[in-house]
Structure formats: C-alpha cells, structure tokens
C-alpha cells in the first residue's frame, strides 16, 4: 500500500512537472487527433506532403488572438504551398469561456474565412503536452527523418496592435530559415497573451 | 468694440479652463509608459513591499482578482506596501476601455498603462519565469522577489506580503 502511494505520488509529480514545462526547441513532438470545425478529425499525419507545420494555439475570445487572425490567414496563404501549413488549435474550456465553444469556433472560422483547420482541444489534452500557456502561442514543427521536431516557440511578430509596424516577424523568418535548410534565430520569443482557461 | 470682443473671448476661455479643471479633478490620472519608463518601478531599493499586478480590462480572471488587490491596498494603507496595477490594454484602448473601467470600478490603487508593444523585449526583465500570460503578479522588496503567473486571492496576497514586511 505504501509502495502504491509512493508510486502514485511519483507519477503525479512527474505528470505535473511535465504539464508545466512542455516542449522545448529541439524536442520531438507528438501528433494529435482533434476535431476540426468541419466535423472531421485532423492529425499532422494527414499531410503526407508537408515539410512541417505552423501550430498556433489560439481562440475566439482573446483580443490578442483576434488582433492576429488576419496575420494567421496570411501565414497560411504564404507557407501552405511551401510545405508549412497552419494548424490552429483552441485550447480553452468552453465551460469557463463560453465564447470558445466548438459551435462558436465554427461561426468564427466561417466569418473570417479561415483557410486552415481550426481544431478543438476537447478535454484540454494537447496544449499541456506542448506547454502552451497563452493565446496566441506558436509552435513551429519541422519534419526531420519522419519525426516532428519543434524548431520555434513563441510570438508571431513584435507588434500585436499594428502588423505593418512590426519590425520583427518571428514566425515568417523562422519558416523561411527552415525552408532554406537553416535554423530559426530567434528560436524562442515571448509575448503578452490571454492565459489558457 | 474691439475691447468688448476681447473681454468676451477671455470670459469664454476662462470658463472653458474652469470646466476642464473640474472634470480633471473627477477623472483619474493614469500615466502611459513605455517599458524603459516603467522599469524603475521594478527595482526600488527601499523597505517598501511592491505588489505589481499585470492585468487588462478584457482579461476575465484579471478582473476577478482585482478586488483582492484593492483590499490589500486599503488594508495596508498605513504600512510600507505599494500596490501598482499595470494595465496591458492595447495602447489605442486607453480612452475607450481603460479610463471608463477604472471610473466604473472606482479603483483606488495606483494604475499605470504600459503601452510598450514589443513584449518579447521586456517580459524577461519583469521575470524570466513569466511566459507572458496574464494575470501575473510580481511581489518584491529590495532583492527579495517572487513571481506568480496565476490568479491571486486576498488571503494568498496577504500571506506573501506578511513574509516581506
């Protein structure tokens, strides 16, 4: 019984630590299977031609997410044809944030004409594995020898209020670096965002 | 004739000044700062405990915890505790959202509107532990610093502040 308690504690602690840290640049990422706004399930494995992915944890309600919606569409338009499509994931619990429900996601995706999948992290299982803490929060995945490797974590650019005024376009530069066979610099940035609820 | 119109203009100007002075008294002064201007408040070397909360009017958990900071500000009014509420509302929402909100909630703590959008350049300077999500709170006295990227309640705030007083 004592052993079992100890084991449970160890597992719980390990789980907790894992949930808090998430992925770092260079880590191998796990694929997921989440429901898109069109009702179909989506995984990274569904893209046989992709060279990588621009995974963006984002949502409906957050003003920062809203401010970046057009820029996320633009990223998808620029990089899908180059092998790096956008996959957006809403990590929020609609019981706490009703504006981020699956039904509301469908409405928003239609309104804005999202060109990319907008997936619902039902049960909040995926975001803790990645270590997303806010919206929007970007993870760029590069496919290397058949494995999903995290190559950039952070912000889209350095000006949330004005896309034109941003003089550092982190995600754009990072994907271009990967396309050219290099590594992103910086590979990690921070931004203010809404906490994941 | 010329003299009369001059006096009239003077009266109009004077009354306009008085009206603006009156309304100025009623509304709160909330300074807008870039990070460089704000940063000195993160490094005060004295015996005051600084409780610095990062929030925004659109952030639901932030709004929920504001009363706890207000209560702290009131209850520790006579002690060396300084509560500073740092709004991260978008720079263009100052008049539209921030000022009306502060007025409506009748917030008494010191408020600063941090309008520096290049957050990657300054988040680590607040705390390397901060991912950038709000609410977030820094509590420090001299070099004794603690950072919390989570929602606070009054009891928790009080217990942290007590250890530093």
CATH code where residue A77 lies: 3.40.30.10
Residue A10's pLDDT is 47
| Mean pLDDT confidence for B40-48 | 97
A60 touches B: beta carbon within 8 Å: no
Q: Which two tokens stand for residue B5?
A: 């119109």
What pLDDT is attached to residue A3? 54
Which CATH number is B40's domain given? 3.40.30.10
Q: Tokens standing for A46? A: 């569904």
Strands A41-42 and A193-195: unpaired
Whether residue B117 and residue A154 make contact (CB cut-off 8 A), yes or no, is no
Instruction: Tell me if B134 and A194 make a contact (CB, 8 A cut-off).
Output: yes
Give me A150's structure tokens: 């995290």
Q: Which residue is closest to A170 within chain B, CA to CA?
A: B120
Chain B closest-CA separation from residue A26 CA (Å)? 19
Amino acid B25: pLDDT: 43
Report the half-sphere exposure of B121 (CA within 13 A, side-chain side): 14
Residue A19 lies in a domain: no
Stated pTM of the model: 0.85
Between β-strands A86-90 and A52-57, what pairing exists: parallel, antiparallel or unpaired? parallel
Cβ B70 vs Cβ B85: under 8 Å: no
Count: domains in chain A: 1
Q: What percent of chain B has pLDDT over 90?
A: 82
- pLDDT per residue as tens digits for the range B18-43: 444 444 445 678 999 999 999 999 99
Instruction: For residue A123, tell me if it sits in a domain.
Output: yes
Residue B114 lies in a domain: yes
Task: Report the pLDDT value the prediction gives residue B29, as an integer from 0 to 100.
Answer: 82
Is the pLDDT confidence value at B9 over 70?
A: no
Residues A97 and A120: their CA atoms lie apart, in Å, by 13
Residue B109 domain boundaries:
30-164
Average pLDDT of the residues in B86-96: 96
pLDDT of residue B42: 98
Domain span at residue A78?
A: 24-195
ipTM for the whole complex: 0.83
CA distance A31 to A46: 10
A30 located within any domain: yes
The pLDDT score that the predictor gives to residue B3 is 59
Separation of alpha carbons A62 and A146, rounded Å: 35
B76 interface with A at CB cutoff 8 Å: no
Given CB atoms, is B121 within the 8 Å cutoff of chain A?
Answer: yes
Q: Is residue B25 part of a domain?
A: no
Residues of chain A falling short of pLDDT 50: 1, 10-19
Residues of B in contact with A155 (CB under 8 A): 119-120, 132
Residues of A in contact with B88 (CB under 8 A): 192
More confident residue, B96 or A15: B96
| Residue A143 maps to a domain | yes
Distances (CA, A) of A21 to A15, A18, A127, B129, B133: 10, 5, 11, 11, 15
The count of C-alpha atoms lying within 13 angstroms of the C-alpha of B89, restricted to the half-sphere facing its C-beta, is: 24
């Amino acid at each position: 019984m004592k052993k079992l308690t100890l084991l449970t504690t160890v597992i719980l602690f390990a789980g907790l630590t894992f949930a808090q840290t998430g992925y770092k640049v260079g880590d191998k990422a796990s694929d997921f299977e989440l429901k898109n706004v069109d009702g179909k399930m989506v995984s990274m494995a569904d893209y046989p031609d992709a060279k990588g992915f621009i995974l963006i944890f984002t949502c409906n309600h957050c003003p920062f997410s809203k401010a970046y919606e057009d820029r996320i569409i633009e990223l998808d338009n620029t990089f899908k044809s180059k092998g790096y499509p956008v996959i957006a994931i809403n990590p929020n619990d609609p019981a706490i944030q009703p504006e981020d429900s699956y039904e509301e996601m469908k409405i928003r995706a239609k309104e804005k004409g999202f060109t990319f999948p907008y997936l619902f992290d039902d049960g909040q299982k995926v975001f803790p594995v990645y270590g997303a803490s806010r919206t929007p929060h970007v993870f760029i995945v590069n496919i290397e020898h058949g494995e999903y490797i995290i190559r950039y974590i952070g912000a889209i650019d350095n000006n949330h209020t004005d896309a034109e005024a941003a003089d550092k376009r982190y995600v754009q530069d990072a994907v271009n670096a990967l396309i050219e066979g290099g590594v992103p610099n910086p590979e990690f940035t921070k931004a203010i965002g809404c906490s994941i609820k | 004739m010329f003299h009369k119109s001059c006096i009239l203009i003077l009266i109009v100007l004077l009354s306009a000044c008085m009206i603006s002075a009156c309304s100025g008294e009623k509304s709160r002064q909330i300074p807008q700062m870039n990070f460089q201007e704000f940063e000195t408040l993160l490094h005060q070397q004295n015996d005051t405990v600084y409780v610095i909360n990062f929030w925004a009017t659109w952030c639901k958990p932030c709004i929920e915890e504001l009363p706890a900071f207000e209560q702290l500000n009131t209850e520790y009014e006579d002690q060396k505790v300084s509560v500073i509420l740092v709004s991260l509302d978008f720079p263009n929402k100052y008049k539209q959202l921030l000022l009306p909100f502060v007025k409506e909630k009748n917030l008494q703590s010191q408020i600063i509107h941090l309008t520096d959008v290049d957050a990657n350049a300054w988040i680590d300077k607040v705390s390397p532990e901060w991912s950038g999500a709000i609410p977030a709170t820094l509590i420090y006295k001299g070099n004794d610093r603690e950072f919390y990227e989570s929602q606070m309640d009054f009891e928790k705030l009080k217990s942290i502040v007590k250890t530093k007083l």
